[in-house]
Amino acid sequence: MRVVLPILVPTYLATCLLCGQELPPPIPGEETARPEKVETVTESAEAPKVRVLATLPLGLKDAKPVVPTIERLLLASESAKVPADSMWLIIEHAKRRGVTSIDVGRDGVCQLVERNFGEEGRGDALIVRSGKSVPTSIRTTMLELARQKGVLFGIGRDRLLLGAGADRLRIGVAANRGRSVRTSPSAAFDEYPEEVRKAATALLIAARSLPLLKDVKAVISTEFVDPRQARRLTVLEGRHLITVEDPGRDATLLPPAVAAARMPGRKIVVRDALEWEEIRSYLSAADQDPDVDGHCLISVGSQTYRLSVEVIR
């Protein structure tokens, strides 16, 4: 025991001295991985846990987000576009010369409906043309312009520019089978940008060269009725409200009344005999003569619309 104890004590002291020293620099040519220091953290009930946050690169923490100006936001909003795959134009000619409707469907079919007014303000002629011969460039250009938010929502804000003796233009676009519909207010033709006027004029000229349709029964359109006005018309004034069943979102073919209700303001051409009899039954239920122009109130889902019917004689 007397021999072992003097040997252990110097050995223990030498080991403690070596552990407390720093590692020597590596010898050139001999790169060896140094052992990393391991720190042991003793958790206690009183000591809170500390999380080490990831450090940011130098200069990044001082960066500030760029706040766009109002002018930049307005410019971006006007240049933005809405989704649409079909379009229609309503042109109200000056001095009550008539109304022209041009409809371009998602299948490329273009329809033109023109009504010329007589001296007494009543329609004396209703012409319907249809076909696919309108050049694709004209249709595509007009659709791309009509999709711009600056055209749909930025035109017609200043009512003082609406001239009484000028042609007026209204643009409507739809997407996803009419579930997304947007229309511009009726504004003076000169108020629209020059590129829109040129595209609309080119589309009108091309649509007027389409062949005539001879089997058209009627042309219908709808107008949204405010719920308070619908209640006054039906409850207080006793107007008949005809319920029209909606086949649903996934229907490939829509009845004319439902198609018109999904896209208010759009002209729908009725050519099928059975579909025309259904429209006539709506007018008869509303105490209207089904053989002359008229309108009635229809209910599609939870909304009420005024259905206008123009009969082809």
pLDDT score for 54: 54
pLDDT score for 160: 46
Residue 137 in tokens: 């460039």
Residue 44 to residue 49: CA distance in whole angstroms: 9
Alpha helices per DSSP H over the chain: 4-19, 70-79, 136-146, 149-152, 194-207, 227-231, 256-262, 273-285
pLDDT score for 249: 72
| Beta carbons of 174 and 84 less than 8 angstroms apart | yes
Give how far the C-alpha of residue 250 lies from the chain's centroid of Cα atoms, to the nearest Å.
Answer: 18
pLDDT score for 234: 86
Tokens 């229809």 map to which residue?
298
pLDDT score for 2: 55
Q: Which ranges of the chain have pLDDT less than 70?
A: 1-68, 70-79, 118-124, 156-165, 176-179, 250-251
SS3 label, residue 134: coil
Residue 19 in tokens: 């552990």
Task: Please state the pTM of the whole predicted model.
Answer: 0.69
pLDDT score for 185: 87
Residue 242 to residue 280: CA distance in whole angstroms: 12
| Beta carbons of 90 and 101 less than 8 angstroms apart | yes
pLDDT score for 12: 59
Residue 180 Cα distances to 5, 54, 102, 205, angstroms: 94, 46, 19, 28
Element (H, E) at 129: strand 123-131
pLDDT score for 68: 64
Residue 2 to residue 297: CA distance in whole angstroms: 118
pLDDT score for 36: 53
